[in-house]
């Protein structure tokens, strides 16, 4: 497995999440429905093979670990991402973050307000500092990519 | 004595009236406080607030009396021989740090050994590591048996290496297993070691008797005994406390100070530098006095009934991996849902307003030995009811259903 392959596998999934699943989450009848979708997202995303999970890719939460890979296509100035997490719900939430920013240019990524978007999706509570899930760490890692 | 009435007991916790939807099973992390404790703290601040041991005025004398009464309540609760053997500190962590720091170069010399166990909380590992590394003291670790209990055969073998200090927990904060502490102290003493017991989880299970247990040190936090946070107790036998170099220096703990020479105050003040947590000590004392109105045997019975129901219910849920044994268990159950990450399980329980902790519970060496990434931990207290148990079981069932759908 190479980064190119992972990117190629991840890209359509993130697109599908954006086009289909975001609405499902917003319209979920109850928390159970919402979590079922979140966990499906986690499943849909291709896993990063153990061998590729280098320490520098690690994004640490209190309770679970996640990994983020980033590719900057210099020709088009677009940013693409691949991610994995030990925990499925966290992976689903992180997948939502990624689908919102995947393919953005450096300027777009810098200006993008992830917290605001999460609020719109009624997912803001998951971003709170006091949660040990590592989502805030993931936000700052994504933001660093445009530096 | 009338039978234990859990509703009557629970009613004294305003928290449950404020948060009636929540099932609180994170008692091993911290417990709720009965009204008696909240009142004692409020009353102290409203009526008696003053600093202790220093003012010439009557208010300070009153505060000092209350503070020293708190010491006396703790001393008699754990049957310490002397009042000065009760050192107030901020909690079990602070106490263990004081002991580990304080024994270096008095009891522990370079090249000496100490003995810990595989299932300790980080608070009973890292302070030792920190100071042992700097002073060339070697740490040995007692392994666990297949049932995740301290391996007593290995323990005796390691004692034969002649450790100067042995430190272990009374009750595992992850598994809830009650260690055979009396036997372990006896063996350690026979080997000539100073004994330290981390009673952070033990204190609420059973009223420990220091003179009977005969350990050299026993430490605990007030907040795991229905008391406030920020107060804890370092109990030590007089001659052992005399060995401790104070980790904190400052006011109150000195006899005389000059830039040529400073001489220290006597116990317990020598180890209580600075203004103590006066309201905390009074709150802890109120917790102990309040708790003593109840029969602990009945409380233990009530908790084992909860545990029995919980274990029984768990057998009906598919794919539960239980790490704790129900035998000699103080009311803590660590478990996983097969091949699911504990963070997911805890999050789904959280959605159903079941408060449990997930992760490695500050016991990473234990988890490396359990070969699991972590676990969720359900810890029961006397104010938990059968209804709490059933709601947790239902929520777990729902969790498994969602996870395996
Ligand atoms: C066995 C054990 N030791 C030590 C501690 C540390 O207690 P505290 O954080 O109150 O100092 C805990 C608390 O979780 C514990 O369970």
- According to DSSP, the residues that pair with B326 across neighbouring strands are none
The whole-chain average pLDDT of chain A stands at 87
| Overall average pLDDT of the B128-140 stretch | 97
Residues B46 and B20 in one domain: no
> Which phi and psi angles does B347 have, rounded to 5°?
-65, -40
The tens digit of pLDDT for each residue in B217-247 reads 999 999 999 999 999 999 999 999 999 999 9
Half-sphere exposure in the Cβ direction for B235 (13 Å, CA): 33
pLDDT the model gives residue B2 = 76
Specify whether the CB–CB gap between B252 and B272 falls below 8 A.
yes
Least CB–CB distance from A64: residue in B341, B351, B402: B341
User: Among candidates B319, B302, B317, B322, which has minimal Cα distance to B378?
Assistant: B322
Specify whether the CB–CB gap between A126 and A45 falls below 8 A.
no
> Which phi and psi angles does A67 have, rounded to 5°?
-130, 135
Q: Check which CATH number belongs to the domain holding B363 and give it.
A: 3.90.1150.10
Which of A53-86 are b and which e, b meaning 16 or more Cβ less than 10 Å from the residue's Cβ?
beeebebebebbbbbbbbeeeeeeebbbbbbbbb
pLDDT at B76 over 80: yes
Q: Which pairing describes strands A65-73 and A58-60: parallel, antiparallel, or unpaired?
A: antiparallel
Ligand 1 pocket, CB under 6 A: B 91-93, 121, 123-124, 169, 173, 198, 200-201, 221
> What span, in angstroms and rounded, lies between the C-alpha atoms of B213 and B194?
13
Half-sphere exposure in the Cβ direction for B43 (13 Å, CA): 11
Specify whether the CB–CB gap between B383 and B299 falls below 8 A.
no
| Overall average pLDDT of the A11-17 stretch | 92
Q: Do B341 and A39 touch (CB under 8 A)?
A: no
pLDDT the model gives residue B79 = 98
pLDDT at A147 over 80: no
Residue B190 forms part of a structural domain: yes
Region of A77 (left: φ > 0; alpha: ψ -120 to 50; beta: rest) is left
pLDDT the model gives residue B9 = 98
Nearest-by-CA chain B residue for A93? B344
Quote the number of domains for chain B. Answer: 2
Of all residues in chain B, the percent with pLDDT exceeding 90 is 90
The tens digit of pLDDT for each residue in A103-114 reads 999 999 988 888
Last residue of a domain, one of B255, B275, B291: B291
Both structure tokens of B38: 């909240």
pLDDT the model gives residue B161 = 98
Q: What is the CA radius of gyration of chain A?
A: 14
Specify whether the CB–CB gap between B4 and B299 falls below 8 A.
yes
Residues B382 and B234 in one domain: no
| Overall average pLDDT of the A15-43 stretch | 90
Residue B177 forms part of a structural domain: yes
User: Among candidates A30, A3, A36, A16, which has minimal Cα distance to A95?
Assistant: A16
pLDDT at B390 over 70: yes
> Which phi and psi angles does B16 have, rounded to 5°?
-75, -25
Of all residues in chain A, the percent with pLDDT exceeding 90 is 47
> What span, in angstroms and rounded, lies between the C-alpha atoms of B88 and B285?
12
pLDDT the model gives residue A120 = 82
> What span, in angstroms and rounded, lies between the C-alpha atoms of B139 and B133?
9
Q: Which of A121-135, B295-309, B328-342 has the lowest mean pLDDT?
A: A121-135
Instruction: Choose from A30, A33, A35 for mutation: most chain B CBs within 10 A.
Output: A35
The CA-CA-CA angle for residues B300, B301, B302, to 5°, reads 90
Q: Which 3 state secondary structure label does DSSP give B109?
A: coil
- According to DSSP, the residues that pair with A146 across neighbouring strands are none
pLDDT the model gives residue B29 = 97
Query: What 8-state DSSP symbol labels residue B226?
Result: T
Both structure tokens of B351: 């959605």
CA of A22 vs chain B CAs: smallest distance (Å): 19
Positive or negative CA dihedral for B346, B371, B318, B326?
negative
The tens digit of pLDDT for each residue in B37-50 reads 999 999 999 999 99
Specify whether the CB–CB gap between A104 and A77 falls below 8 A.
no
pLDDT the model gives residue A131 = 62
Residues B286 and B300 in one domain: no
Both structure tokens of A52: 């590729």
pLDDT top residue among B264 and B34: B34
Specify whether the CB–CB gap between B321 and B334 falls below 8 A.
no
Which of B57-69 are b and which e, b meaning 16 or more Cβ less than 10 Å from the residue's Cβ?
eeebebbbebbbe
Specify whether the CB–CB gap between B252 and B269 falls below 8 A.
yes
The tens digit of pLDDT for each residue in A66-103 reads 999 999 999 999 999 999 999 999 899 989 989 999 99
Residues B23 and B51 in one domain: no
> What span, in angstroms and rounded, lies between the C-alpha atoms of A112 and A104?
9
Both structure tokens of A18: 């954006």
A36 vs B contacts (CB less than 8 Å):
402, 405
Contacts of B41 (CB under 8 A, 6+ apart): B228, B279, B280, B282, B283, B286
Both structure tokens of B20: 């009636």
Residue B220 forms part of a structural domain: yes
Q: At what angle do helices A31-44 and A88-101 cross, to 10 degrees?
A: 70
Q: Distance, CA B232 to ligand 1 centroid (Å)?
A: 10
The whole-chain average pLDDT of chain B stands at 96
pLDDT the model gives residue A15 = 92
Q: Do A88 and B340 touch (CB under 8 A)?
A: yes
The pick from B88, B93, B128, B334 for probing ligand 1's pocket by mutation, whose C-beta has the most ligand atoms within 8 angstroms, reads: B93
pLDDT the model gives residue B405 = 79
C-alpha B100, offset from chain centre: 17
Residues B183 and B53 in one domain: yes
pLDDT the model gives residue A130 = 59
B340 vs A contacts (CB less than 8 Å):
88
Number of CB atoms found within 10 A of residue B405's CB: 10
Q: At what angle do helices A88-101 and A135-144 cross, to 10 degrees?
A: 30
Residues B127 and B159 in one domain: yes
Residues B256 and B358 in one domain: no
Q: B348 in contact with A at a CB cutoff of 8 Å?
A: yes
Domain that holds residue B254: 38-291
Beta strands in B155-245 (DSSP E): 165-169, 194-198, 217-221, 232-236
pLDDT at A132 over 70: no
> What span, in angstroms and rounded, lies between the C-alpha atoms of B324 and B366?
12
pLDDT band at residue B284 using 50, 70 and 90 as cut-offs? very high
Specify whether the CB–CB gap between B213 and B364 falls below 8 A.
no
> What span, in angstroms and rounded, lies between the C-alpha atoms of B303 and B311?
12
pLDDT the model gives residue B263 = 84
User: Among candidates B30, B64, B33, which has minimal Cα distance to B286?
Assistant: B33
pLDDT band at residue A5 using 50, 70 and 90 as cut-offs? very high
Nearest-by-CA chain B residue for A131? B347
Q: B387 in contact with A at a CB cutoff of 8 Å?
A: no
Least CB–CB distance from A63: residue in B343, B398, B403: B343
pLDDT top residue among A60 and A35: A35
The tens digit of pLDDT for each residue in B345-374 reads 999 999 999 999 998 889 999 998 898 989
Which CATH code for domain A3-144?
Answer: 3.90.1010.10
Residues B245 and B321 in one domain: no
Residues B178 and B60 in one domain: yes
Residues B14 and B133 in one domain: no
Q: Do A63 and B351 touch (CB under 8 A)?
A: no
Residue B1 forms part of a structural domain: no
pLDDT band at residue B16 using 50, 70 and 90 as cut-offs? very high
pLDDT at B55 over 80: no
Residue B142 forms part of a structural domain: yes
Residues B311 and B277 in one domain: no
Positive or negative CA dihedral for B61, B63, B68, B73?
positive
Q: Which of A115-129, B51-65, B149-163, B213-227 has the lowest mean pLDDT?
A: A115-129
Q: Distance, CA A57 to ligand 1 centroid (Å)?
A: 32
């Amino acid at each position: 497995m190479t980064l190119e392959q992972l990117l190629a596998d991840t890209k359509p999934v993130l697109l599908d999440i954006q086009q289909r699943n975001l609405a499902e989450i917003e319209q979920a009848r109850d928390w159970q429905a919402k979590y079922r979708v979140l966990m499906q997202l986690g499943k849909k995303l291709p896993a990063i093979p153990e061998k590729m999970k280098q320490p520098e890719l690690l994004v640490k939460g209190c309770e679970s670990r996640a990994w983020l890979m980033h590719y900057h296509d210099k020709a088009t100035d677009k940013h693409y991402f691949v991610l994995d997490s030990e925990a499925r719900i966290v992976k689903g939430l992180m997948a939502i973050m990624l689908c919102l920013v995947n393919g953005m240019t450096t300027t777009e990524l810098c200006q993008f307000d992830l917290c605001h978007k999460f609020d719109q999706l009624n997912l803001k509570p998951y971003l709170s500092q006091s949660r040990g899930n590592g989502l805030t760490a993931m936000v700052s890692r994504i933001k660093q990519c445009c530096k | 004595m009338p039978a234990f009435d859990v509703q009557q007991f629970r009613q004294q916790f305003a928290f449950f009236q404020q948060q009636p939807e929540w099932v609180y099973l994170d008692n091993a992390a911290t417990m709720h406080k009965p009204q008696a404790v909240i009142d004692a703290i409020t009353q102290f601040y409203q009526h008696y607030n003053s600093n202790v041991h220093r003012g010439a005025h009557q208010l300070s004398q009153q505060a000092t009396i209350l503070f020293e009464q708190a010491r006396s309540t703790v001393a008699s609760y754990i049957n310490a021989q002397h009042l000065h053997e009760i050192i107030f500190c901020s909690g079990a962590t602070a106490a263990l740090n004081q002991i580990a720091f304080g024994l270096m170069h008095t009891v522990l010399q370079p090249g000496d050994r100490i003995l810990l166990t595989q299932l300790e909380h980080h608070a009973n590992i890292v302070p030792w590591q920190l100071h042992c590394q700097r002073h060339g003291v070697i740490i040995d670790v007692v392994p666990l048996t297949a049932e995740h209990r301290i391996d007593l055969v290995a323990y005796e073998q390691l004692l034969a290496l002649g450790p100067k200090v042995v430190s272990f927990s009374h009750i595992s904060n992850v598994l809830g297993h009650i260690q055979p502490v009396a036997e372990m102290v006896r063996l350690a003493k026979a080997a000539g070691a100073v004994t330290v017991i981390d009673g952070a989880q033990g204190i609420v299970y059973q009223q420990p008797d220091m003179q009977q247990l005969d350990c050299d040190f026993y430490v605990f936090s007030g907040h795991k005994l229905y008391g406030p946070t920020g107060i804890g107790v370092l109990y030590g036998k007089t001659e052992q406390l005399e060995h401790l170099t104070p980790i904190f220096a400052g006011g109150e703990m000195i006899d005389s100070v000059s830039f040529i020479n400073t001489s220290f105050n006597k116990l317990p003040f020598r180890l209580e530098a600075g203004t103590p947590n006066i309201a905390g000590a009074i709150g802890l004392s109120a917790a102990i006095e309040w708790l003593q109105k109840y029969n602990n045997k009945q409380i233990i019975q009530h908790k084992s009934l909860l545990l029995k129901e919980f274990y029984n219910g768990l057998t009906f849920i598919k794919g539960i991996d239980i790490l704790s044994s129900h035998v000699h268990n103080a009311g803590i159950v660590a478990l996983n849902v097969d091949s699911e990450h504990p963070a997911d399980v805890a999050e789904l329980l959280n959605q159903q307003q079941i408060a449990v902790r997930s992760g490695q519970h500050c016991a990473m060496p234990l988890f490396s030995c359990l070969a699991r990434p972590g676990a969720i931990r359900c810890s029961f207290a006397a104010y938990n009811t059968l209804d709490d148990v059933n709601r947790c079981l239902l929520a777990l069932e729902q969790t498994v259903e969602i996870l395996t759908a």
